[in-house]
Amino acid sequence: MILNRRTFLGTTAAATATLSTPMVLVAGTGKPRVVVVGGGAGGATAARYIAKDSKGAIDVVLIEPTRTYYTCFFSNLYLGGFKSISDVGHSYGKLVSEYGINVVHDWAVGVDRDAKKVSLAGGASIDYDKLILSPGIDFVDGAVEGWDITAQNNMPHAFKAGSQSELLKAQVMGMREGGTYAMVAPPNPYRCPPGPYERVSMVAHVLKEVNPTAKIIVADPKPKFSKMALFQEGWENHYDGMIDWIGPDFGGDVVSVDPEAMTLTIDGEVTKVDVCNVIPAMKAGKIAEMAGVTDGRYAPVNAVDMSSKADGDIYVLGDAAQQGDMPKSGFSANSQAKVCANAVRGALTGSKVFPAKFSNTCWSLIDTNNGIKVGATYKATEEKIAKVDGFISKTGETSDVRKATYEESEGWYAGITADMFG
């Protein structure tokens, strides 16, 4: 099925922000209030569906520091020259004007679970009846020796899209002739499993055109990765000799960097590089830890409604959640948000709650019109979100099939962003 805006909507049911003074919140409306922290694929979708389907019976407050949200998904296509940065940027205006959501551009900096209050960096606090946390990811301190968040200008991660994406692209375009682009890939589990390898493909696509003697090194702690055979086939067919993937058998898990000297060390061997894209190990966005709903790197949830296992009035979506068999993707977050929104609306208004069902597809672009995908459907069990069945593109597919897959991804992107932001 070819996905476009209509079919997606029908079939599916951080750069540093400029902070603003929080909007004044009207108290005493008599309505239950849902506060949503994080305005990405999980949070924006949940806020929109709760507001839309409750028809004004629930006050919905969305806390998001950025005025423009840049999707991590499709940001690699910006690096590859297939999109502009504005193509992956989205505003919150329709959520306010069409759905009556109170969008507060500020940072959530604390959660008082006993008082059921969220505190903001600007000094305000907001009461909630139900709290939905969808803060995305942060990075694990010390995950890559020699790198911390203060080094992101020298060695960008670009796994929070926006200014980091623009910086990485500028660095790639500014590489010396025959220079080296290096990537430090993350360990599992992390945001967008095929994302680093689509990025390698997109960087290779650009370098093949503007700097064909350049080299790409990937230091990877994992012995395998999402769509590995498909990516490696594509690299051989389109970028032969340019990409050197180094897995743990050859030291890809023993890595350090020097952001000042611009060096990458793999298993004791030091290499001078021109660009170093460091994607560290990830964890739930900090507010989830502040709320006390994490266990290890991520937040355990009940699959039936995405409620936290630590607090039944708090829900966790998307990359921040322990998702069972589901990958951490924008599609997953959007799917989980609809399950959560239905459950929250039912809990607060007595409306019908439907059984939880989840789905995901991850598309990737290898070269012009060469799209691949992997996906699955899932169900809620007592233990986790469990995989029911799945599919994946095949090696050796025709150019027509690959072009159709890419076109499908374009339709999906239009659909999911409309589903998120209206």
CATH number, domain containing residue 293: 3.50.50.60
pLDDT of res. 340 = 98
What is d(CA 7, CA 419) in angstroms, rounded to the nearest whole number? Answer: 11
pLDDT tens string 234-271: 999 999 999 999 999 999 999 999 999 999 999 999 99
Distance CA(225)–CA(221), nearest Å, equals 10
The parent domain of residue 99 ranges over 5-138+282-421
Same domain for 411 and 301? yes
Q: What is the mean pLDDT of residues 30-47?
A: 97
Q: Over the chain, what is the mean pLDDT?
A: 94
Residues 151 and 263 in one domain: yes
Residues 163 and 249 in one domain: yes
Q: How many domains does one find in the chain?
A: 2
Query: 3-state SS string over 263-331?
Result: EEEECCEEEECCEEEECCCEEECHHHHHCCCCECCEEEEECCCCEECCCCCEEECHHHEECCCCCECHH
Which of 24-28, 162-166, 228-232, 327-331 is the least confident region?
24-28
Shared domain check, 295 and 265:
no
SS3 193: coil
Angle (CA) 381 387 389, round 5° = 135
| pTM, entire model | 0.93
The confidence band for 232, taking pLDDT boundaries of 50, 70 and 90, is very high
pLDDT at 30: 87
CA distance 306 to 292: 16
299/403 same-domain check:
yes
pLDDT confidence of residue 143: 98
pLDDT above 70 covers what percent of the chain?
A: 93
Q: Given this model, what pLDDT does residue 413 score?
A: 98
- For 139, phi then psi, to 5°, come to -105, 145
Q: Are residues 102 and 116 in the same domain?
A: yes
Which of these three, 251, 278, 305, is where a domain ends? 278
Instruction: Please determine, for residue 13, whether its predicted confidence score (pLDDT) is greater than 60.
Output: no
Question: What number of other Cβ atoms are within 10 A of residue 165's Cβ?
Answer: 22
- The confidence score (pLDDT) of residue 6 equals 38
Q: Are 309 and 371 in the same domain?
A: yes
77 lies in the same domain as 128: yes
**Residue finishing a domain among 221, 246, 278:** 278
Asked whether residue 155 falls in the same domain as residue 247, the answer is: yes
Which pLDDT band, with edges at 50, 70 and 90, does 25 fall under? very low
**Are 216 and 334 contained in the same domain?**
no
Please indicate, yes or no, whether residues 386 and 305 belong to a single structural domain of this protein: yes
Which tens digit of pLDDT belongs to each residue from 309-355? 999 999 999 999 999 999 999 999 999 999 999 999 999 999 999 99
Structure tokens that stand for 256 in this block? 């350090």
Among 278, 295, 326, the domain boundary falls at 278
> pLDDT by residue (tens digit) across 165-207?
999 999 999 999 999 999 999 999 999 999 999 999 999 999 9
Asked if 248 and 193 sit in the same domain, the reply is: yes
User: Residue 29: which pLDDT band, with cuts at 50, 70 and 90?
Assistant: low
pLDDT over 60 (residue 369):
yes
